A and B are shown apart, each in its own frame.
Chain A
């Protein structure tokens, strides 16, 4: 454990005084991201919990410039900021688009897709708490199958699977995509640093526990983050150039039940429902492993072509 903590930069580029709920994964995510990125960073925040967490105008908990922008414009505003800086020869500043799942998977998806296709030189981090929390826990396309939200009440919980955004972005062939978790700060920070070192579009998907939205205990946020990874519900991996898959943490075989049963939003699920989810998760894990294998094959193929 001490070995892991050793890799985390000491600087606190997110100050104190944020106004998030206790146990907020989104807040811890920002703290880690800014540790990795340093002060030569500008943040774009669309409508989401973070529009509040940062503090009322004109204050900010972050020690770097923050531009609050419209809900669906994180990627487009960030593209503009990057271009504005570039036009002034300030190309070394990192532009970070920081959005929730709603602003990323749903309303901001078009702008994100556009920025990805243009291969904008920005880092886009989506902290995914799997619902619209700012407006009071409504479903998003990132809400998992079976979850309760205020618009998917327990009697009719979400009946569609979570959108696989990472795959959608992989289809854009961007240089770097990663998943990250606040329970694995070393992995988290390494990925953000790697993203910073790469030119072009980078996307990092962070699962962010939200005690009020998940009906979970604030002190369980790290535990839930860890269980999501170890149960393979949220595996830690990265994708380079849309095809080179690499799993960055080999999960243990924790049943999904352990993760689901700690959250009130899944309280209505029967054991049968949970078995169904387990099957789905196992299948997705196999698919991911296959993609890793396939990218190893791909690698060989590319080497052969290069040698011809």
Chain B
């Protein structure tokens, strides 16, 4: 236990690279990341549980700690449109939202990606209404799958901070916007120690934004005018190319971040005790932390259970999944989200990734914790037991439904 604790503490507290350790909520972690990334324009609209990002940023802007333009718009739709405008001039921009707000942005999320603007958006994963719910659920961001945004899912407040900074490096290089997701309340409103890296190190890691193209009166161009069937498709091809480039770049940037800041959360995904695993759980977000505990229990009992934490959803870690799946017998995917009429969304993606692979381990999809319902260690144990007993893959197994 001591050993683990020390290792964890080291992960958070690297005195050489850390300016300060703050005990803060995930939302504030995002706000400090914005400061460290030297964002120039912020535009956002409040929604629970994202509000504390907006409030903290207002405070940091008002007291001069963040020298940014802050546009306090009348809706999320306008927030996204405003950062699209700002980013088009070459100013590093940020917005944050959640659930209904992200859904309202949908049209302009496409616009941001298709215009190749590397905006960063912090999304607090919250359930969609009705019935009203403000609690954790990843359906909001996963429903934006095809908008062309790079997407990351975080497990801790530290990861939120580190990923927002990395998001700018990645997005600006491949010219795509990046969404960094954190679970409502489990991260957004839970205080954890977060190491704020030294500004000069972040500056080394993340140089000022120098766009290849921008709105400039000295070099006037029109952006986004009509493209006929003879040219539209090439624009789409380039976006897919950029996503492929991001797939290569994300691990490199993670290493670079580790080099400058001394912290590493994994690349497209993180493997936890997967060596020699017969059984594998795949998770994203905060269910991962609980699953680690259960994996340790089973390993202690001599059962070879491993865990994969999905970090990037777009681009999808197809090759990593295929590689890891090669040596396992059974995989259980835990989704805090659902695509009605199909299954958990991560499950579908993993199933799709494995179809063109040579090995096809048994694959079960578990939907759990929708609308912020607690996913406790016993739920995970039930999943593992169900998985080990399964003889045939099941697309959708509901966990803890009281019907």
Question: Which B residues are in CB contact (< 8 Å) with A64?
Answer: 217, 220
Chain A CB within 10 Å, residue with most, of B72, B85, B224: B85
Q: Which of A52, A62, A81 contacts B222 (CB 8 A)?
A: A62
Enumerate B179-216 residues with CB–CB distance to A below 8 Å: 215-216
Question: Which B residues are in CB contact (< 8 Å) with A66?
Answer: 220-223, 225
Least CB separation from A61: chain B residue: B222
Given contacts A83-B71, A114-B78, contact A60 B222 (CB under 8 A): yes
CB distance from B73 to the nearest CB of A (A): 6
Contact between chains at A57 and B226 (CB < 8 Å): yes
Contact between chains at A88 and B77 (CB < 8 Å): no
A-B pairs under 8 A by CB, number: 166
B108 at the A/B interface (Cβ < 8 Å)? Answer: yes
Contact between chains at B88 and A84 (CB < 8 Å): yes
Question: Which B residues are in CB contact (< 8 Å) with A83?
Answer: 41, 43, 69, 71, 82, 85-86, 91
Q: Which of B72, B79, B83, B221 contacts A65 (CB 8 A)?
A: B221
Contact between chains at A58 and B221 (CB < 8 Å): yes
Chain A CB within 10 Å, residue with most, of B68, B87, B221, B231: B221
A153 at the A/B interface (Cβ < 8 Å)? Answer: no
Contact between chains at B74 and A65 (CB < 8 Å): no
Contact between chains at B78 and A57 (CB < 8 Å): no
Least CB separation from A120: chain B residue: B71
For the complex, give the distance between the alpha carbons of A85 and B41 in Å. Answer: 10
For the complex, give the distance between the alpha carbons of A147 and B120 in Å. Answer: 46
Q: Which of A55, A57, A65, A87 contacts B91 (CB 8 A)?
A: A87
Contact between chains at A114 and B75 (CB < 8 Å): yes
Contact between chains at A57 and B222 (CB < 8 Å): yes
Contact between chains at B74 and A59 (CB < 8 Å): no
Q: Which of B43, B79, B217, B222 contacts A59 (CB 8 A)?
A: B222
Contact between chains at B225 and A84 (CB < 8 Å): no
Given contacts A62-B220, A80-B43, A83-B69, contact A88 B82 (CB under 8 A): no
Enumerate B14-50 residues with CB–CB distance to A below 8 Å: 40-41, 43
Question: Which B residues are in CB contact (< 8 Å) with A190?
Answer: none
Enumerate B285-329 residues with CB–CB distance to A below 8 Å: none
Q: Which of A55, A69, A73, A111 contacts B74 (CB 8 A)?
A: A111
CB distance from B265 to the nearest CB of A (A): 30
A118 at the A/B interface (Cβ < 8 Å)? Answer: yes
Question: Which A residues are in CB contact (< 8 Å) with B225?
Answer: 51, 54-60, 66, 68
For the complex, give the distance between the alpha carbons of A42 and B218 in Å. Answer: 11
B341 at the A/B interface (Cβ < 8 Å)? Answer: no
Enumerate B220-239 residues with CB–CB distance to A below 8 Å: 220-228, 231
CB distance from A112 to the nearest CB of B (A): 10
Question: Which B residues are in CB contact (< 8 Å) with A81?
Answer: 85-86, 88-89, 215
Question: Which A residues are in CB contact (< 8 Å) with B158?
Answer: none
Contact between chains at B81 and A76 (CB < 8 Å): yes
CB distance from A26 to the nearest CB of B (A): 16
Contact between chains at B82 and A57 (CB < 8 Å): no
How many chain B residues sit at the interface, stated as a range, is 35 or more
Q: Which of A56, A67, A118 contacts B215 (CB 8 A)?
A: A67
For the complex, give the distance between the alpha carbons of A44 and B222 in Å. Answer: 10
Contact between chains at A78 and B85 (CB < 8 Å): yes
Given contacts A41-B217, A64-B217, A65-B216, contact A84 B226 (CB under 8 A): no
For the complex, give the distance between the alpha carbons of A54 and B225 in Å. Answer: 8
For the complex, give the distance between the alpha carbons of A60 and B77 in Å. Answer: 27
For the complex, give the distance between the alpha carbons of A55 and B225 in Å. Answer: 7
Given contacts A57-B231, A76-B81, contact A87 B68 (CB under 8 A): yes
Q: Which of B74, B108, B227 contacts A110 (CB 8 A)?
A: B74
CB distance from B235 to the nearest CB of A (A): 9
For the complex, give the distance between the alpha carbons of A20 and B41 in Å. Answer: 36
Contact between chains at A84 and B223 (CB < 8 Å): no
Enumerate A81-99 residues with CB–CB distance to B below 8 Å: 81-88, 90, 93
Given contacts A76-B81, A83-B91, contact A118 B71 (CB under 8 A): yes
Least CB separation from A81: chain B residue: B85
For the complex, give the distance between the alpha carbons of A39 and B218 in Å. Answer: 9
B157 at the A/B interface (Cβ < 8 Å)? Answer: no
Contact between chains at A72 and B77 (CB < 8 Å): yes
Contact between chains at A56 and B220 (CB < 8 Å): no
A273 at the A/B interface (Cβ < 8 Å)? Answer: no
For the complex, give the distance between the alpha carbons of A143 and B91 in Å. Answer: 39
| 9 intermolecular pairs with C-beta atoms under 8 Å apart | A60-B225, A68-B222, A69-B84, A69-B111, A80-B82, A80-B87, A83-B85, A84-B87, A84-B215
Write the residues of chain A forming the contact surface with B, with a CB cutoff of 8 angstroms. Answer: 39-42, 44, 51-52, 54-60, 62-70, 72-73, 75-88, 90, 93, 110-111, 113-114, 117-118
The 8 closest A-B pairs by CB, nearest first: A80-B85, A84-B89, A114-B74, A60-B222, A68-B224, A80-B82, A84-B86, A73-B81
Contacts A65-B221, A76-B73, A81-B86 known; 20 new A-B pairs at CB < 8 A = A40-B217, A44-B85, A57-B227, A60-B221, A66-B222, A73-B78, A73-B84, A76-B85, A80-B43, A80-B84, A81-B215, A83-B91, A84-B41, A84-B85, A84-B90, A85-B91, A110-B75, A111-B74, A111-B75, A111-B81
